[in-house]
Structure 1
Amino acid sequence: MLKRISRLRNAKINSVGIASVFQAGDTNEINMRIKVLADQRTIALYRDDEGSFNKKEYQIFRQPAVMPLPETGVQSAFCHENPSIRVRNVKVQGVSSASVVQIGSTSIVLGDSRLKHIRQIVTPSSQSQQP
């Protein structure tokens, strides 16, 4: 890993979400993981069996993450005349769902994000039939 000094004058970050990282400086490894199940409804009608999360019902949470093959056969050479990374200003609106913003060097960055979003939107004609 390349080791340099990271100099950051000003950082303005609006939001850093679930399993996300904002890092100023070097690190050896960053590993972000997230598994989310979201449910959105227009009308709050709930059944008795809701509230328990059984991941057997949702295959996306059981599947192994697809990892890219490591790079092979790549030769590179770096010559850093200046031993520091200088950043004057960074403005980030959002870092979300196993993402990373880093000013510095990293050897290994791993990220795994899964999301199952269920929406139960009721049409205007079926709203009148609700109790």
Structure 2
Amino acid sequence: MQRISVVDFIKINSLSFSGILEVGDSKKITPVSQALAVQREVPVFFTNEGDFSKYPIFSRELPKVKVTETVNMNVFNQNPIIKVDSIRVNGVSSSAVVQIGSTETIHAESKVKHIRKLLDEKSKHNK
């Protein structure tokens, strides 16, 4: 049976960094986001920054959850319409998914490397 997703009103303030809004059914959703966050006391930026290959976290495979339980399920969709009156979302970011409908598989991945470059006490006193 084919289903129809109906949404009267949806407001999302921010949708970014591989965030997904899906109205309707889908087979597979695979949002991926990678980010380098560099924080410095002195705002200096270099053009050679941002090479993900320099940081092992970005090439490392994330561990997969192994489902060992057997799930028996019977589904009966009496009404072929998914009806939503109103949705308000502040933000969807970094491989998150908002969906009205169904998906067989969602594989979401987000990797963030935070780097802090702080001045040592000696440098602070010489400013």
Normalised-by-shorter TM-score class: 0.7 to 0.9
1:83 alignment partner, one of 69, 72, 80: 80
**Contact 1:33 1:111 survives alignment (8 Å):** yes
Moved more, 69-78 or 90-99: 69-78
Structure 1: unaligned runs, 5 residues or longer: none
For the aligned residue pairs, the C-alpha RMSD in angstroms reads: 2.5
One-letter amino acid of the counterpart of residue 74, structure 2: A
Question: Equivalent pairs: percent with the same residue?
Answer: 31
Amino acid at match of 2:88: K
CA–CA distance in structure 1, aligned partners of residues 16 and 119 of structure 2: 29
The code of the aligned residue for 1:36 comes to A
For residues 94 and 123 of structure 1, do their structure 2 counterparts lie closer, same or farther at Cα, with a shift above 3 Å needed? farther
Aligned residues: 127
Q: Counterpart of 1:36 in 2: which secondary structure?
A: strand
2:96 is aligned with 1:99? yes
**TM value normalised by structure 1:** 0.82
Structure 2's unaligned 5+ residue stretches are none
4+ long deviations beyond 6 Å: none
Matching of residues 37-116 of structure 1 within 5 Å: 37-45=36-44, 50-51=48-49, 53=51, 55=53, 57-70=54-67, 73-116=70-113
Query: What is the rounded CA distance, in whole Å, between the counterparts of 1:36 and 1:71 in structure 2?
Result: 32
User: How many angstroms apart in 2 are the aligned matches of 1:37 and 1:118?
Assistant: 8
Alpha-carbon distance between aligned partners in 1 of 2:5 and 2:45, rounded to the nearest angstrom: 51
TM-score, normalising length: structure 2: 0.85
Distance 2:8 2:98 in 1: 16
SS of 2:108's equivalent?
strand
